[in-house]
Amino acid sequence: MPRRRKDKVDKNQADIVKDLRAIPGVTVEVDHDDILVGCMDKDFIPRTYWYEIKNPETMGKNGEVQPSKIKKGQKELVKKFTGHYKIVTSLNEILLDMGLI
């Protein structure tokens, strides 16, 4: 069986992961297209967040990731996945999404 080629990691991912791991009570797993983040919500219920991290340079004039930079499979996940999945470009977007700021 041929080996799967390692996906390219966006240049901002390492800093985002490092900053998330510095937050008490937050865990991060990488290599899950792109990261899984776990933490307790305000009611102490464990939550898992799945984030695809895109380079900020992929942002269009409307402030969203350019559609041409989102892979077909990622577009399908956004539409159909019943759990949490979001395409982001920054730590701030993640923290806002998780309700931490």
Q: In this predicted model, what pLDDT tens digit does every residue of 22-71 receive, in sequence order?
A: 999 999 999 877 899 999 888 889 999 999 998 888 777 777 888 888 88
Would you state the structure tokens that stand for residue 91, as one six-digit string?
Answer: 């730590």
Residue 4: band (very low, low, confident or very high) from pLDDT cuts 50, 70, 90: very low
SS3 assignment, position 75: helix
Position with higher pLDDT, 73 vs 9: 73
Would you state the structure tokens that stand for residue 33, as one six-digit string?
Answer: 């297209």
- The rounded distance, in Å, linking the Cα atoms of 16 and 19 is 5
Q: What is the mean pLDDT of the chain?
A: 86
Residue 3: band (very low, low, confident or very high) from pLDDT cuts 50, 70, 90: very low
